[in-house]
Structure 1
């Protein structure tokens, strides 16, 4: 039997900035367990508003409070803390990458409950059929009766969130794929599509450790893209095109790009490109980034130098962005610094005075699983009362 499916409203505009109920929920997320008096201070709302929204969030199963008999007696008015309720709801997601699909479930704190990886087929129609076919079994195995708030579908490249369309992902060779229109009627869940750079930026702002100031997030895999956040809100651009960095020039690179130019960032530093260089140089038996990283961890200097070279090229390409945006932090999500964190100073050194801004992403080996569920969780934390359209969450 499938777990209960609690649908967010069908695609509707979700505000960039949270409403009052969302302010209460986010205060509990970031500071909880939190008494109502503290929520009033954190959210900047009246006591009456906090009481009203707390009752709504309790009814929806988004927050909880310990039974009164578990509280220690204290003089004066009781101060029963609220915390995020992770027992009733989960977010589902699928990350579509070049080599594989990653299915995942996460709780309301963004913690990964389950993940499964399967090889990716080449044609987008076959991939989406595969997602729809595998998802029910995945939910039966891991959701364990908890309500599923939606399905995140995340991939690299240019994703139009409002239309639910993957406009272009050159690494996959896909254009104009209507992800939401194909999947939503089949999986019978709200489908939230997003690029992986923006999805991970949502996750960093909600659950990460990098802070909440102006942020530039750079994702480097087979696809290379970026996201920009200021004041806790993401910059979207026309049709969500902001953050397209695949064709930034890399000084000194002569790698040909399908766009007709040479030295574009994505083709120069992509996982596949670095893996092919390793195989061509005899560092690995065949093109496989995992083999290159293993050789580097085992001390092969040729492998280490290839990894250093990638970080240097990334730094030279994005340095003008740092000068232009002047963010408080640059979050880098990519395989070399994940598996060889001792090489991060190589990137910082190339960035000169901006090097002290660089942080690695907060989610380690869970990165793709977190990214997949992040669009669903971001929608919940922006518009928690949207759940009311489905009736009681209990």
Structure 2
């Protein structure tokens, strides 16, 4: 984690007022709980009667629970029992579709990973979705321990249309117009939330991470795909045809890396994990262009591996600074494997971003909040975001 300056004072409601009073109550408890009903009402701007009604409804759904009274001498009047998020009953399920791996995850209502599994991604889109359909039911039976599923999230990089549930274009995978939701609807008999991993992680940061309490956030994802997500007023923007945040084809001066778009020197092609692994292999650092081996060397403190990740961040920093200058967010989050593995690299990124940005004072600039659980969190974030926005529309299925 790093901060270019002191973090801003974040005192506003963390999310817009969708889902009516019930959603406001649930999000208030998530952010500030455990809280007594009176405090919930003051924070959410609701009357005592409305708070009582909504908390009763949310408790009946297994989303809130009343905690026992705190220890201490008895007080006059009716005790103010605190309410907290109930993590005992429900889980969100999800799968992240990456270039080398499929990551399956289960998260509780506080965004904590209950279980995750990773298997190699092989074959074309049809083969990958067959693998998801085959693996997901067993994963849930083994790991969900009888809790109910809130829904299934499916995320990946590139151009994803959440309304149609379609991966419109994913250059590194070679996918075009893949109807993901249509192909997976029958797996859990629940809603399937399809989105880009950058937008999903922006929602997760707003709910559970560095963006808690903020309304203006930018998330930059750097993997084999490079894309960004923009939140303003607490809402993650999709843009026309769901293309907001498509920065992977920004030009990188001096780069000659060929890109799947047909041009050379695009940011995505220049800093992609596969590209970095090839550079490491060419320098004799690893016996094959294997990004995971390079990460392992960096974790052990290998100087050459660390230098390769610094060089990658040097190339990312101008794009991050551009996002800051154009959008002026409160928080900018960068998800990049080197930062996750060696958090001290965050200082280097911060220095490079500061060199390129014209914005003063700079926002909070930080690595992602979820460490090695990043992809599992991304997979499930859309399901949890929907639950916190519209809890009274909740529909669950028993795991197994």
TM-score for the superposition, normalised by structure 2: 0.89
Moved more, 322-331 or 27-36: 322-331
Instruction: Using the TM superposition, give the Cα deviation of residue 77 of structure 1 relative to its aligned residue in structure 2, in angstroms.
Output: 2.4
Equivalent residue number for residue 101 of structure 2: 100
SS at match of 2:53: helix
2:380 corresponds to 1:380 = no
Equivalent residue number for residue 373 of structure 2: 366
Give the counterpart of 1:339 among 338, 341, 354.
341
* Contact persistence 1:92–1:104 (CA under 8 A): yes
SS at match of 2:288: coil
* Contact persistence 1:71–1:80 (CA under 8 A): no
Equivalent residue number for residue 5 of structure 1: none
Instruction: Using the TM superposition, give the Cα deviation of residue 72 of structure 1 relative to its aligned residue in structure 2, in angstroms.
Output: 6.7
SS at match of 1:341: coil
SS at match of 1:318: helix
CA distance in 2, matches of 1:69, 1:290: 48
Instruction: Using the TM superposition, give the Cα deviation of residue 348 of structure 1 relative to its aligned residue in structure 2, in angstroms.
Output: 1.6
Give the counterpart of 1:280 among 273, 282, 299.
282
SS at match of 2:210: coil
SS at match of 1:90: strand
Give the counterpart of 1:320 among 291, 299, 322.
322
Instruction: Using the TM superposition, give the Cα deviation of residue 292 of structure 1 relative to its aligned residue in structure 2, in angstroms.
Output: 1.7
* Contact persistence 2:158–2:227 (CA under 8 A): yes
CA distance in 2, matches of 1:16, 1:63: 19
> Any idea what the Cα deviations from partners look like across 1:241-270, whole Å, max 9, x if unmatched?
111111011122221212222210100001
CA distance in 2, matches of 1:79, 1:133: 48
Moved more, 352-361 or 50-59: 352-361
How many residues align? The count is 377
> Any idea what the Cα deviations from partners look like across 1:144-170, whole Å, max 9, x if unmatched?
111111110011111111110011111
CA distance in 1, matches of 2:73, 2:98: 50
Instruction: Using the TM superposition, give the Cα deviation of residue 382 of structure 1 relative to its aligned residue in structure 2, in angstroms.
Output: 0.6
Which consecutive residues of structure 2, in runs of 5 or more, have no partner in the other structure? 1-15
Instruction: Using the TM superposition, give the Cα deviation of residue 319 of structure 1 relative to its aligned residue in structure 2, in angstroms.
Output: 2.4
Instruction: Using the TM superposition, give the Cα deviation of residue 66 of structure 1 relative to its aligned residue in structure 2, in angstroms.
Output: 3.0
Equivalent residue number for residue 199 of structure 1: 200
2:292 corresponds to 1:290 = yes
Instruction: Using the TM superposition, give the Cα deviation of residue 390 of structure 1 relative to its aligned residue in structure 2, in angstroms.
Output: 6.7
Give the counterpart of 2:262 among 260, 263, 268.
260
CA distance in 2, matches of 1:275, 1:330: 26
Equivalent residue number for residue 33 of structure 2: 32
* Contact persistence 1:250–1:316 (CA under 8 A): no
* Contact persistence 1:98–1:171 (CA under 8 A): yes
Give the counterpart of 2:245 among 226, 243, 246.
243
Give the aligned CA root-mean-square deviation in angstroms: 2.1
Shift of the 358–251 alpha-carbon distance from structure 1 to 2, 3 Å rule, reads: farther
CA distance in 2, matches of 1:127, 1:292: 26
CA distance in 1, matches of 2:72, 2:147: 27
Instruction: Using the TM superposition, give the Cα deviation of residue 356 of structure 1 relative to its aligned residue in structure 2, in angstroms.
Output: 6.1
CA distance in 2, matches of 1:373, 1:215: 19
CA distance in 2, matches of 1:82, 1:331: 31
CA distance in 2, matches of 1:248, 1:351: 16
CA distance in 2, matches of 1:280, 1:163: 42
Moved more, 74-83 or 359-368: 74-83
Q: What is the 5 A alignment of 1:1-394?
A: 17-66=18-67, 73-211=74-212, 212-352=214-354, 354=357, 357-387=364-394
CA distance in 1, matches of 2:188, 2:152: 8
Moved more, 207-216 or 196-205: 207-216
Equivalent residue number for residue 8 of structure 2: none
Moved more, 133-142 or 35-44: 133-142
Instruction: Using the TM superposition, give the Cα deviation of residue 213 of structure 1 relative to its aligned residue in structure 2, in angstroms.
Output: 3.6
Q: Which has the higher helix share?
A: 1
Shift of the 72–218 alpha-carbon distance from structure 1 to 2, 3 Å rule, reads: farther
* Contact persistence 2:286–2:294 (CA under 8 A): yes
SS at match of 2:67: coil
TM-score for the superposition, normalised by structure 1: 0.91
CA distance in 2, matches of 1:31, 1:349: 33
Which consecutive residues of structure 1, in runs of 5 or more, have no partner in the other structure? 1-14
* Contact persistence 2:151–2:396 (CA under 8 A): no
CA distance in 1, matches of 2:297, 2:68: 54
